[in-house]
Structure 1
């Protein structure tokens, strides 16, 4: 599986660090929580999706060789607000 730019292979993981790659549904839940946890006043869900998906933190969350994906949602939201992990 590659992202739309074709330059990241999300299945290329260190199997000593990651036993199982998260499913699309699991990743969707992570991003859904981040979108709602960081929602701006009067922001639509669509605008929230665009805001979060265009943030550099997505590259960190999508890197399964680090622990960002596995962090509790409040830690991910705080990292987003602070500009990174």
Structure 2
């Protein structure tokens, strides 16, 4: 995938990782599902954001989070991904960890004519996210090839 501003520059997997990390941060901050954040920002803007990711990752993530919430008019919800059964969950994965889970799933299931933005929108809108984001189960801890196979098979 090419950077929309610098056509000789390739978008890297780490740029996608940063985007997935920020989606997770914003969703948790707003008490929304990741799907809300992905669908709340226009596809054209995702191309802008991923093209700027190599610079944005150097900025304070709290500021990037606040900027995206304000700029894209994202609103507070009532979904709390961290509301888990304490007897089943000893540690909630961090936004960085979940960003990596989603980045790998997108890359592992990317179609031959699909770019990172299209793959991101596809994955975050799939029902498998309800299982991956249920921290009372262990789906997010599975190796990336197991998660990708579950995605391709329609669930775990």
* TM-score clears 0.5: yes
Answer 1 or 2: which has greater helix percent.
Answer: 2
Find the partner of 2:149 among 75, 78, 83: 78
Counterpart in 2 of 1:30? 101
Structure 1 residue 68 corresponds to structure 2 residue 129: no
TM-score normalized by the length of structure 2: 0.52
Normalising by structure 1, what TM-score?
0.92
Moved over 2 A (4+): 4-8
1:8 CA drift (Å) = 2.6
Q: Equivalents in 1 of 2:117, 2:100: separation in Å?
A: 16
Q: 2:32 matched to which residue of 1?
A: 3
1:20 counterpart SS class: coil
